[in-house]
Amino acid sequence: MSGKITFTMIKPDAVADGHIGAILGKIAEAGFKIKALKLTQLTVADAQKFYEVHAGRPFYGELVDFMSSGPIVAAVLENENAVESFRTLIGATNPADAAEGTIRKMFARSIGENAVHGSDSDENALIEAQFHFSGREIF
Ligand code: ADP
Ligand code: MG
């Protein structure tokens, strides 16, 4: 059974490029309800821990540097089948492969600087939400 919660970040590229409002608009239009929301910045240690699963990959260092390079927007979102429907809304990891109308197609700079994060499972959505928000910041 699929869960109702996913976790997202608007990444430093999209914040710097002025796309916070447009991306939150696309998320709302797609029917997601905002359960938690903040503008924040990851330290290098935070980014290393958040992306620990990718520690062996060649792009890990670049990813950690990028994700800690500037402010992000973190959010917990609610919808039916939230993880899968949000990943459909954001599109493929590489914006060159992302479908027309998806958030990454519209706003990402590159495969690394790809505008948004979306959780890949119900279990990780909960872990990621709790990484960024305390209980009293989630509504
Ligand atoms: P997704 O974010 O679509 O779930 P992954 O979990 O595979 O993708 O990768 C996590 C993040 O690492 C991506 O969103 C992207 O920022 C970065 N990344 C993935 N693959 C590459 C790559 N080949 N080169 C540079 N950065 C990458
Ligand atoms: Mg992933």
pLDDT at 2: 82
H or E element: which one contains 50? Answer: helix 44-50
pLDDT at 37: 98
The preferred substitution site among 42, 48, 114, 128 for testing ligand 1, maximizing ligand atoms within 8 Å of CB, is 114
CATH class of 5-137: alpha beta
Domain boundaries, the chain: 5-137
CA 61/CA 54 separation, integer angstroms: 10
Is the Cβ atom of 94 under 6 angstroms away from ligand 1? Answer: no
CA 94/CA 104 separation, integer angstroms: 8
pLDDT at 1: 46
Measuring CA to CA, which residue among 102, 108, 114, 17 is closest to residue 63? 114
CA 46/CA 66 separation, integer angstroms: 12
- pLDDT tens for each residue of the chain, 139 residues long: 489 999 999 999 999 999 999 999 999 999 999 999 999 999 999 999 999 999 999 999 999 999 999 999 999 999 999 999 999 999 999 999 999 999 999 999 999 999 999 999 999 999 999 999 999 999 9
